[in-house]
Structure 1
Amino acid sequence: MEHNLGMDPDTIQPLLKSLAETTHAVAADVIAVDDGVPLASWGRAVNAGVQGEALSEMRDTIRDVTSDVANREPDDAIAEALIPGFTLMAHGLWHKSFRGSLCIMRPDDQPWTENDRALLKMAADLCRSVMEAGNISRDHGRRLDLLVSYVASELMGVSAMDHSETTYRVLGELGRFFEVDTCYLRHNDPQLRASVLVDEWPRREDVPDPDPLGVISWDDPISAVTKDLREPYVVRPRGGPESYQARVEAGSGIHQASTAMVPLVSGDTTRGVLGFVHFGDRDWSRAEIRALQAIASLLVQLDARVTAEESLHHHAYHDELTGLPNRRSFVETLTDILKENPEAPLTVLFADMDRLKTVNDVLGHSIGDLFIQAVADRLRESVRPDDIVARLAGDEFVIVLRGVDNVEHAERIARRLLNHLTEPLDVGGHVVSRSACVGLAVNGGNSSAMEELLGNADVALLEAKKRGGNSVVSFNDDLRWRLLDRADLEFRLRTAIGEGEMRLFYQPEFDLRGGQITAVEALVRWQHPERGLLSADSFVSVVEEINLSAELGRWVLNEACRQLAEWKRSSIPAPDVVRVNISAGELISADFVGFVGTLLSRYGHKPQELGIEITESTVMRDIDDVLATLLGLRRLGVSIAIDDFGTGYSSLSHLKQLPVHTLKIDRSFVSTLAHDSGDRAIVSAIIRLAEAFNLSTVAEGVEDIDTVTALLQLGCERAQGYLMSKPVSAADITKRLAEPGDYLGSSWWMGRS
């Protein structure tokens, strides 16, 4: 069976070779429908080890796949198939009466990728262009075929990185082949409404400024012709537009020239022109023009591929909302800067807008997005062109100040930037103003590594947030030591529980009228091997950050129940209740109620002997889940107290539905109760509220006798505080429980213990 490729099969081999090398294929072939033997090929299946029955099976598979893809629509013209030991991928190929496929093959342990598919599609498009060029007349004969095939193979593996270099090389080959004095590539720019010079061969040494050939408005007669050019356009000295000859003379100094311009057509759009200029007169044959049309088609396909690649690269390295570089782009850029010069003078700023969630909740996420875009614009306006601005996530931005390696200078810039950021913004008809915080780290000393420099700026930002809105904090030695201290705590905490370094101390709760201990509150301490005994305030935040809250909380519950059982087995009167503070994470864990029930059974405690303390903030964080757990604890009979009551405000509306027994009045109201009428009014209101709901009250932070008197006057009869006792060890509590009578009348109650 004969098949008309429209050209010498050998002409297409450079393209097939380029395709195979780019996709790491062992063979690349042009196959006609109903035929398993290649019409044009590079590489051989036999050389790859396919023989005998396997070769026959391969040809049958190729025939089936070729018939399949040749009957598909162009957008769905790729298919894959397995041959013993190999994998085949084919793309439909059509030209006039020819129907077939372009096939590539490689070992089956190398699956095809999306990039391979894109390259095969591009190669199929290039093949069609080469086949089109094969229908030219014989005045240049095989040489024009080879030229088009050469250009196709050159463009096959081009990426955005080497696009410009390859384009110039191809222009040079074309210029020498057609023996013209210069050739060029121009693209249409709809935004400029002009034709823009992309490249030219040879490049002019003395280019006028402004360059009359650089950007030519579509108002220009010649540019107006090329704007929507659909067919080749030839201009010769005699009979050509005088305006064109004048422009050529202005740009090159040549008095007369002939030119051929071939449009770069994509669908219904003319994307630009490929042009050739000969100084003097030159006739262009139809064969040459047809070859140039095929090459222009190749350039259009390359441009579409590179544009798509650049778009993917842009999306991969830029934030979609603001257009700023994203984290990936920023990290790579900063890494490259420091790799080139570890001591590069620069400062990293972390900027974070405060309470953006409020904007989203009140005005909606669309306004929140507009606000973020406006903030990004202000950041761009606030820095120099050489500085780097990126959006890392949410409302967090990072800026690199190039050439700034002085803390005082960096802080002045940060303060100016902060003032600009916090000015009110008109966003979607709403005036929005947010405070912000900035943390900064100057390169140099111990922070020349990218990760450390970013980490230092982040630590400074966290410190700025702690200080409140509109704060600027520079990373310094103090923060460095705190960072190292925190890292040390994190490292040691991961083993501290298992190695028995945790301790429980107990703070008694007293009956203010009778002086008896009514309960003890279990408070965790860490017996650090080097730092000694640490209070919970120095490490609990780290416990929460590294997700050890549940493990530590269960250890505390178990140890408190164990100690209570030990007191009950002794001859001394045991406390009525042991109270244990529970974190939010523990409270909403699925098996928490079951765990508490197991402990009560293990140690033989009555449910009312165990008290669970939760803070108002814990209650309000996940009210539905918390309520379900509290109801489960209530069903067990465990007593529940709200700690630090009065500081959360919003939980008052939920107090009626919460199954609690006790309100512990926060020390911030109790400490000045005897001398501050406002605090006295608040404590009085809490006590009255508790009475209304049939709840008991316990005052925290009692430090003087006047406070005891005031509490009794207001009706609160139970309290904790340093006046009566600091948190002490279980052994000390045992001694005090053994002391008969009125604890409040003993010497240690007066603060001398």
Structure 2
Amino acid sequence: MKLDPETIQPLLEALARATDSISADVLAVEAGMPLVSWGSAPAAGVKGKDLTVMRDAIRAATAHVARDASADLFEDAETPGLTILATKVAYRDFRGSICLVRLDGRTYTSKDRELLLVSAQLCTAVMEAGEITDQHGRLDALVTYVAAELMGVTARDLAETLFRVISELGRYFGADTCFLRHNDPELQASVLVDEWPRRPDVPDPDPLGIVPWDTDDPIFSMIKDQREPFITRPSDGQLSYQERVRAGSGVPEVSLAMVPLIHDDTTSGVLGLIHFGDRIWTRAEVRALRAIASLLVQLDARVAAEESLHHHAYHDELTGLWNRRAFVEDLNAVLEADPRAPLAVLFADMDRLKTVNDVLGHTVGDNFIQAVAQRLRDSVRPHDVVARLAGDEFVIVLHDIGSISAAERAARRILDRVAEPLDVGGHAISRSASIGVVVNGDMPSTVDELLGNADVALLEAKERGGDSVVVFNDDLRSKLLVRADLELRLRTAIANNEMRLYFQPEFDLRDGRMTGVEALVRWQHPERGLLAADAFISVVEEINLSAELGRWVLEEACRQLATWKRTSPVPPPLVRVNISAGELISADFVGFVATLLSRYGLAPAELGIEITESTVMREIDDVQATLNGLRGLGVTLAIDDFGTGYSSLAQLKQLPVDILKIDRSFVSALAESSGDRAIVAAIVRLAEAFNLTTVAEGVEDPAAVTTLLDLGCYRAQGFFMSKPLPAQVVLEQARNPGVPLRMV
């Protein structure tokens, strides 16, 4: 019996809407696709395996009501997430049902049941009135139904969906088997994707599984470039094909309808239906199969594009490893399944890779990263994870690792393997690495916590000079908590007036007279008390507060000097402020200094700007322009930590500086170290040659004072003379010149 979709579909739509169902179908017993249908389960979100389960439940309900003479209605709520209501439809030799489907778990009401029974009577009345359709209309409905089934299919659902579609095609056409084959250019063969029904006993090797294009079988050799539908029947004389089918399935002879899947003018596969024995395939049926084959090609192209996008979204472009997103999602899934899963996270970073890029170029550097990635992948087990986060940073998850010692041994093996020389573009490159390790412990951890802890351990490994493995422990945890607290509070410390300036005096060693003070920032932490700069300055730099804090220090130092000048007859003669390279080359720094001098009524010579030698040498071109501007204002300029930045005479000559401050590392053991004395003597002579003043830093004992005087360095600062002092105490030092520094 063939129902007219144009007559029945409005009825099904009204029924589905009235009963709040996602679909309403008229099905025959044992049929695959509905004869007439309204609604789309895929559009409602039912896909993949769930859709297969739903279709099987609908067929089961149809069979139940059609075969049970005593049952007018059948309701199935046993399938999770589904409620199915079915009633029989029968006329002459037709046995089937009308089925409704709900997804919300609600049962159907008595009114819903009455509406379904009335609809079944109307459907039977249509049959009795002889409203039947031609084959073309039904086949058009078939193509529409397949299109709906393929809606929204993803790579995850693809295999399940393809099997369901070919199984329902087989039932619809009354075929004995339906198959889908894809062409594989690498194998130069036709490969069986799936078949319905699946053979219970498949020979090994399967003569139907992978069939080379280069074969004596004319049908399979044709598949490579098939452009038009192909029909064969037992009487057509295709003996080799019939023999291959007989060997693979045991069926003596078959009729075949096979249509090509054509994508971008290339045959990508075939869709075929087989009838055991003889069968005539009409032109309308073949046209419908061609349309369905076109839908399958579109599905393949869409899924391939989605897979490509997914691959790029989850993989590192340079190495092909997982990226951060993939790593985080995978580890999240592992921890959600088992928060105490035995695993270790290793955070690895190459040591001194910049040298490779600078010397050999970024192409070689990229090739080296690719080689390292492969070496890391080869260094772990197949079920372990290796991902590239950025640059030369990699993260590794070692599964089934339950102890710190095991994780540490594994990390050391990886480190040793990575350090072995690599041949990259004809260059033998060897670079060590540093690895931070964290083991998932008794307390459940999040991905962010594991990564953060491994990162802290990695930073510790880097601070130890690299080529080392550090395991996150309680000491590092405390360090991490302290740093997190510092970062959180630093963002508001300036606004909350928690910053303080201390001042370390500088003296003339010959008479003890104060020659200036150096402004040093301190933080009055609400809980930890007064903190020196080395306790928080690295965090300031990491969270990009250097410019804000630097300008605060500069203005506060100028304000304090102005206050001293107003309130004391003997103020310090000048105040020096350390300025970072970033501040120095920031927009309008010279203008900012000029504004401060004017605002606080200071003479330019009363303000000293200090910048480290290493910073000057690294940014010499940009820094020099700003230093020239400051010199134009009349500000005193000093190079701090001199002797550690490896500046050349030529570079020193072009810098408009007034003072060289000798680094404390050459002063602390000056009396005992002949090498340090030689370096200090050389710096003093260099300064004299350029008409510069020298100031020694870090003077801790009277022997250093004596040696400095003997070498001709007459100005110094250090704990031997004075520690850094609050502003109110500085004036006491200034009012007491002649501090006995040297016993003559």
TM-score > 0.5, shorter chain as reference: yes
**Aligned letter for 1:487?**
A
Q: Are 1:739 and 2:736 an aligned pair?
A: yes
TM-score by length of 2: 0.78
CA RMSD of aligned residues (A): 2.7
Q: Are 1:170 and 2:160 an aligned pair?
A: no
Map of 1:655 onto structure 2: 652
Q: Tell me the distance in 1 between the aligned counterparts of 2:173 and 2:354.
A: 65
1:716 shift after superposition? 1.6
Identity of aligned residues (%): 72
| Deviates most, 254-263 or 719-728 | 254-263
Map of 1:344 onto structure 2: 341
Q: Helix, strand or coil for the counterpart of 1:575?
A: coil
Tell me: CA distance 1:403–1:206, structure 2 relative to 1, closer, same or farther (3 Å). farther
Map of 2:701 onto structure 1: 704
1:652 shift after superposition? 5.3
Q: Helix, strand or coil for the counterpart of 1:200?
A: strand
Q: Count the aligned residue pairs.
A: 621
Tell me: CA distance 1:651–1:233, structure 2 relative to 1, closer, same or farther (3 Å). farther
Map of 1:74 onto structure 2: none
Q: Tell me the distance in 2 between the aligned counterparts of 1:237 and 1:623.
A: 89
Tell me: CA distance 1:745–1:368, structure 2 relative to 1, closer, same or farther (3 Å). closer
Map of 2:521 onto structure 1: 524
**Aligned letter for 1:263?**
P
Tell me: CA distance 1:295–1:344, structure 2 relative to 1, closer, same or farther (3 Å). same
Q: Tell me the distance in 1 between the aligned counterparts of 2:649 and 2:447.
A: 48
Tell me: CA distance 1:526–1:144, structure 2 relative to 1, closer, same or farther (3 Å). closer
What is the correspondence of 1:159-198 to structure 2 with a 5 Å cutoff?
A: 159-198=154-193
Does the CA contact (< 8 Å) of 2:5 and 2:137 recur in 1?
no
Which residue, out of 690, 693, 700, partners 1:693? Answer: 690
| Deviates most, 707-716 or 399-408 | 707-716
Q: Tell me the distance in 1 between the aligned counterparts of 2:645 and 2:260.
A: 72
Q: Tell me the distance in 2 between the aligned counterparts of 1:497 and 1:267.
A: 65
Map of 2:369 onto structure 1: 372
Which residue, out of 584, 588, 591, partners 1:591? Answer: 588
Which residue, out of 630, 639, 648, partners 1:633? Answer: 630
Q: Helix, strand or coil for the counterpart of 1:196?
A: strand
Which residue, out of 354, 357, 361, partners 1:357? Answer: 354
Tell me: CA distance 1:569–1:320, structure 2 relative to 1, closer, same or farther (3 Å). same
Q: Are 1:488 and 2:473 an aligned pair?
A: no
**Aligned letter for 2:140?**
D
Does the CA contact (< 8 Å) of 1:516 and 1:744 recur in 2?
no
1:645 shift after superposition? 1.0
Tell me: CA distance 1:214–1:462, structure 2 relative to 1, closer, same or farther (3 Å). farther
Map of 1:300 onto structure 2: 297
Map of 1:453 onto structure 2: 450
Q: Helix, strand or coil for the counterpart of 1:221?
A: coil
Q: Tell me the distance in 1 between the aligned counterparts of 2:248 and 2:690.
A: 93
Tell me: CA distance 1:477–1:514, structure 2 relative to 1, closer, same or farther (3 Å). same
Does the CA contact (< 8 Å) of 1:517 and 1:743 recur in 2?
no
Map of 2:125 onto structure 1: none
Tell me: CA distance 1:564–1:139, structure 2 relative to 1, closer, same or farther (3 Å). closer
Which residue, out of 296, 317, 320, partners 1:320? Answer: 317
Q: Helix, strand or coil for the counterpart of 1:173?
A: helix
Q: Tell me the distance in 1 between the aligned counterparts of 2:352 and 2:726.
A: 42
Q: Helix, strand or coil for the counterpart of 2:672?
A: coil
Does the CA contact (< 8 Å) of 1:351 and 1:437 recur in 2?
yes
Map of 2:86 onto structure 1: none
Map of 2:429 onto structure 1: 432
Q: Tell me the distance in 1 between the aligned counterparts of 2:305 and 2:717.
A: 70
Q: Tell me the distance in 2 between the aligned counterparts of 1:425 and 1:236.
A: 63
1:745 shift after superposition? 5.4
1:139 shift after superposition? 8.3
| Deviates most, 307-316 or 564-573 | 564-573
Tell me: CA distance 1:246–1:397, structure 2 relative to 1, closer, same or farther (3 Å). farther
Map of 1:202 onto structure 2: 197
**Aligned letter for 1:668?**
S
1:387 shift after superposition? 1.3
| Cα deviations by residue, 1:570-623 (Å, 9 ceiling, x for unpaired) | 454222221111122322221322222222222222111111111123324433
1:653 shift after superposition? 4.6
Does the CA contact (< 8 Å) of 1:616 and 1:648 recur in 2?
yes
Which residue, out of 320, 327, 330, partners 1:330? Answer: 327
Which residue, out of 641, 663, 668, partners 1:666? Answer: 663
Does the CA contact (< 8 Å) of 2:572 and 2:731 recur in 1?
no
Does the CA contact (< 8 Å) of 1:258 and 1:282 recur in 2?
yes
Map of 2:210 onto structure 1: 215
Q: Are 1:397 and 2:394 an aligned pair?
A: yes
Gaps of 5+ in 1: 1-7, 22-41, 44-137
Tell me: CA distance 1:612–1:177, structure 2 relative to 1, closer, same or farther (3 Å). same
Which residue, out of 573, 576, 583, partners 1:579? Answer: 576
Q: Tell me the distance in 2 between the aligned counterparts of 1:477 and 1:288.
A: 73
Which residue, out of 530, 552, 567, partners 1:555? Answer: 552
Does the CA contact (< 8 Å) of 1:447 and 1:453 recur in 2?
no
Does the CA contact (< 8 Å) of 2:339 and 2:444 recur in 1?
no
Does the CA contact (< 8 Å) of 1:516 and 1:743 recur in 2?
no
Q: Tell me the distance in 1 between the aligned counterparts of 2:190 and 2:733.
A: 94
Which residue, out of 147, 150, 160, partners 1:155? Answer: 150
Does the CA contact (< 8 Å) of 2:5 and 2:138 recur in 1?
no
Q: Tell me the distance in 2 between the aligned counterparts of 1:741 and 1:448.
A: 62
Does the CA contact (< 8 Å) of 1:616 and 1:651 recur in 2?
no
Tell me: CA distance 1:10–1:426, structure 2 relative to 1, closer, same or farther (3 Å). farther
**Aligned letter for 2:515?**
T
Q: Helix, strand or coil for the counterpart of 1:334?
A: helix
Tell me: CA distance 1:452–1:512, structure 2 relative to 1, closer, same or farther (3 Å). same
| Deviates most, 733-742 or 427-436 | 733-742
Does the CA contact (< 8 Å) of 1:460 and 1:473 recur in 2?
yes
Does the CA contact (< 8 Å) of 2:5 and 2:141 recur in 1?
no
TM-score by length of 1: 0.78
Q: Tell me the distance in 2 between the aligned counterparts of 1:450 and 1:740.
A: 61
The structure 1 segments of at least 4 consecutive aligned residues displaced by more than 6 Å after TM superposition are none
